[in-house]
């Protein structure tokens, strides 16, 4: 059975998200991109449809679904707007996932119910000097008795403008290096916490990316996620899973770019016939479709492995690496098939190309993925 085969329930779920994306998101894409802002009514709809709490257990108001459903949802959202896809990605595969796996019963009751209903989550690991070298972070957490006091700055934090809850990493024992890193659940309203500058980005513009400022931010001890000094484990494992979701975002983006290219090639006429009749265009489309299918197989395989409780780190890195590279090439080729109109904002493919560039960078660059794959191969 091919890896792209879906069960009846999975097909129904995918088709529901696809219909929502085409009917509700598509008319808003250009406006959100130009305004660099997510439509608030659309965000409410994402919650109402349960797309912000797919894996959250039903007892906390979520859908009680699985990781593969998250992948399907992100793919379908991203085929229309990858910026919306990444909003759901961060929420489901990183923030919700981290609390489901490492949260206490009290934390789950307090936060999963909110994340399923109306609260956006963000994941705050990166800093100015801490990107690919994720554990070089300088944000500190000082034990102050009944609470921790956090000081530092975070950069490039997705969903930050809308988020009400942040899974935030700080070092509670800098002398211990990465073994001092601790994960905290930081609410937006905590004293000493501030969302700072919003980045003006090339792509996925409707998805906010901001700095966070922690100036003696007071975080209760009961808001430590997992154990003090074990935050590095949470970071590694959530990012491994998040990379599969970025792969699905890139697969959706590539599918959207291919669909637009096929449609335009059938409509555009040159030398008395549609350009789809020219073998050169046909070969371009065939290569695009082949790379897309290969990327989808890699993503689905890693997601199925994750849900089955089997090792998936190498496969996740392969999926993220290949899908992000393929998406950029497919989006670029789609622009070429559109010709001159492809670089105008009257057609959607220039946006998909802009959106594709981040895929090779965030949640682990392509070089980091290659290092991970090589490490697994070499033992």
What are the pLDDT digits (tens) for 199-233?
A: 999 999 999 999 999 999 999 999 999 999 999 99
CA angle 36, 38, 325 (to 5 degrees): 70
Residues 250 and 365 in one domain: yes
User: Which tokens is 88 given?
Assistant: 């759901």
Residues 292 and 346 in one domain: yes
d(CA 170, CA 212): 12
Asked if 328 and 359 count as a contact pair (C-beta separation under 8 A), the reply is yes
Residues 254 and 167 in one domain: no
Q: Report, in angstroms and rounded to the nearest whole number, the Rg of the chain calculated over CA atoms.
A: 21
Structural domains counted in the chain: 3
Q: 2 in a domain, yes or no?
A: no
Q: 101 in a domain, yes or no?
A: yes
Residues 130 and 259 in one domain: no
Q: What is the pLDDT of residue 134?
A: 86
- pLDDT over 60 at 1, yes or no: no
Residues 173 and 242 in one domain: no
pLDDT digits (tens, 9 = 90+) for 124-170: 999 999 989 988 999 999 999 999 999 999 999 999 999 999 999 99
pLDDT digits (tens, 9 = 90+) for 251-296: 999 999 999 999 999 999 999 999 999 999 999 999 999 999 999 9
Contacts of 356 (CB under 8 A, 6+ apart): 82, 203, 250, 253, 254, 257, 324, 327, 328, 331, 332
Residues 127 and 93 in one domain: no
* CA atoms within 13 A of residue 269's CA, in its CB half-sphere: 3
Q: 79 in a domain, yes or no?
A: yes
Q: Which of 10, 3, 119, 2 is nearest to 56 (CA)?
A: 119
- pLDDT over 90 at 362, yes or no: yes
Residues 218 and 289 in one domain: no
Q: What is the pLDDT of residue 114?
A: 98
| Domain stops at, among 179, 211, 229 | 229
Mean pLDDT, rounded, for 70-91: 98
- pLDDT over 60 at 2, yes or no: no
Q: 3 in a domain, yes or no?
A: no
- The answer to whether residue 363 is catalytic is yes
Q: The tokens 């290092």 sit on which residue?
A: 371
Of 55, 162, 211, 363, the active-site residue reads 363
Domain membership of residue 153 as a residue range: 122-229
Q: What is the pLDDT of residue 3?
A: 61
CATH number of the CATH domain containing 190: 2.40.110.10
Q: What is the pLDDT of residue 234?
A: 97
Can you give the pTM of this predicted structure?
0.97
Long-range CB contacts (within 8 A, 24+) of 56-63: 56/96, 56/100, 56/112, 56/115, 56/116, 57/100, 57/112, 60/108, 60/109, 60/112, 60/113, 60/116, 61/112, 61/113, 61/116, 61/117, 62/96, 62/112, 62/116
Residue 315 CB neighbours (<10 A)? 24
Q: What is the pLDDT of residue 62?
A: 98
């Amino acid at each position: 059975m091919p890896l792209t085969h879906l069960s009846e329930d999975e097909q129904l779920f995918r088709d529901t998200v696809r219909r929502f994306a085409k009917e509700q998101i598509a008319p808003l894409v250009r406006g959100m991109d130009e305004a660099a802002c997510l439509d608030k009514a659309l965000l409410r709809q994402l919650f109402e449809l349960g797309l912000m709490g797919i894996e959250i257990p039903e007892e906390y108001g979520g859908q009680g679904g699985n990781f593969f459903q998250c992948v399907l949802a992100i793919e379908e959202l991203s085929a229309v707007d990858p910026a919306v896809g990444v909003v759901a990605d961060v929420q489901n595969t990183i923030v919700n996932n981290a609390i489901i796996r490492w949260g206490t019963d009290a934390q789950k009751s307090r936060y999963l119910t909110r994340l399923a209903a109306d609260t956006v989550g963000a994941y705050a690991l990166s800093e100015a000097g801490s990107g690919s070298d994720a554990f070089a972070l300088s944000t500190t957490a000082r034990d102050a008795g009944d609470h921790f006091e956090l000081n530092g700055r975070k950069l490039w934090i997705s969903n930050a403008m809308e988020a009400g809850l942040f899974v935030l990493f700080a070092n509670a024992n800098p002398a211990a290096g990465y073994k001092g890193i601790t994960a905290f659940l930081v609410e937006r309203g905590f004293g000493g916490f501030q969302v700072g500058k919003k980045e003006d980005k090339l792509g996925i513009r409707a998805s906010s990316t901001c700095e966070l400022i922690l100036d003696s931010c007071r975080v209760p001890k009961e808001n430590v996620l997992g154990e003090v000094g074990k935050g590095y484990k949470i970071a590694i494992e959530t990012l491994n899973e998040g990379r599969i979701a970025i792969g699905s975002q890139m697969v959706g983006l590539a599918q959207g770019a291919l669909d637009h290219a096929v449609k335009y090639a059938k409509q555009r006429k040159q030398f008395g016939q549609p350009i789809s009749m020219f073998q050169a265009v046909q070969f371009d489309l065939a290569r695009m479709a082949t790379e897309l299918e290969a990327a989808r197989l890699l993503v689905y395989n890693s997601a199925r492995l994750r849900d089955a409780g089997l090792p998936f780190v190498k496969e996740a890195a392969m999926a993220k690496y290949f899908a992000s590279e393929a998406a950029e090439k497919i989006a670029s080729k789609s622009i070429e098939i559109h010709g001159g109109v492809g670089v105008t904002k009257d057609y959607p493919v220039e946006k998909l190309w802009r959106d594709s560039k981040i895929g090779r960078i965030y949640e682990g660059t392509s070089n980091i993925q290659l290092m991970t794959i090589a490490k697994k191969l070499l033992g």
